[in-house]
């Protein structure tokens, strides 16, 4: 697991230096796969009939990571570097939020404890180096907690798709052309 943490820590630097960026894109694909696996599991959705999605974040990833429609600029490289850094900053804010929320959920009462831990721990591990623990926001009712976690994971799934697209765009180098 230490290798993954070192790998994650170097991803932002690698992206900004445009060196081996496809490896970082693979890392974010692994995060998306883990989120998808958690959402597909009956252990998080057992007894929950909800299609609601909850996207809570202080970041503005969608806007910050959108490719510019025109590449006309007096300083195109500086502009694209600034845009790339802004995108990565917002991705980090999103990952921090979801890491803190999922980690605190796992410290609360769980209906399917071992299975929920098995599903969500890889997501916590992937984002571990980006976070600090915050006080728990979960109550004592495992159903209400799972309902909120289910909605939040759906929102995180959508955000992870956005992040994967942004990382793929950055790693492709299209923003430098």
pLDDT tens digits along 79-90: 465 677 777 778
CA distance 120 to 44: 10
Q: Which residues of 121-153 are buried (b: 16+ CB within 10 A; e: fewer)?
A: ebbbebbbbbbeeeeeebeeebeebbbbbbbbb
Least confidently predicted of 113-117, 118-122, 143-147: 143-147
Region 2-176: CATH code: 1.20.1250
How sure is the predictor about 162, in pLDDT bands with cuts at 50, 70 and 90? confident
pLDDT exceeds 60 at position 7? no
Residues 6+ apart with CB under 8 A from 146: 44, 45, 46, 47, 48, 111
Quick: pLDDT tens for 9-33. Answer: 445 444 444 434 555 677 778 888 9
CA distance 27 to 126: 9
Phi-psi region for residue 168, left (φ > 0), alpha (ψ -120 to 50) or beta? alpha
* Closest C-alpha to 44, from 150, 154, 156, 152: 150
Residues 6+ apart with CB under 8 A from 155: 53, 54, 55, 56
- What number of other Cβ atoms are within 10 A of residue 89's Cβ? 14
Task: Look up residue 68 and give its two tokens.
Answer: 């510019």
Q: Domain-by-domain residue ranges, the chain?
A: 2-176
* Closest C-alpha to 63, from 173, 162, 170: 162
């Amino acid at each position: 697991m230490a290798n993954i943490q070192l790998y994650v820590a170097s991803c932002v630097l690698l992206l900004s230096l445009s060196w081996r960026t496809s490896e970082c894109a693979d890392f974010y694909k692994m995060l998306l796969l883990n989120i998808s696996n958690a959402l597909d599991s009956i252990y998080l959705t057992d007894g929950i009939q909800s299609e609601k999605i909850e996207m809570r974040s202080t970041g503005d990833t969608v806007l910050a990571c959108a490719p510019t429609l025109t590449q006309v600029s007096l300083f195109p490289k500086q502009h694209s570097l600034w845009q790339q850094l802004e995108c990565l900053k917002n991705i980090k804010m999103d990952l921090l939020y979801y890491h803190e929320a999922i980690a605190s959920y796992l410290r609360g009462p769980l209906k399917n404890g071992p299975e929920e831990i098995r599903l969500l721990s890889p997501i916590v591990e992937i984002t571990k180096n980006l976070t600090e623990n915050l006080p728990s926001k979960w109550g004592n009712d495992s159903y209400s907690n799972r309902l909120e976690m289910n909605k939040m994971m759906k929102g995180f799934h959508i955000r992870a798709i956005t992040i994967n697209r942004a990382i793929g765009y950055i790693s492709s180098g299209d923003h430098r052309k």
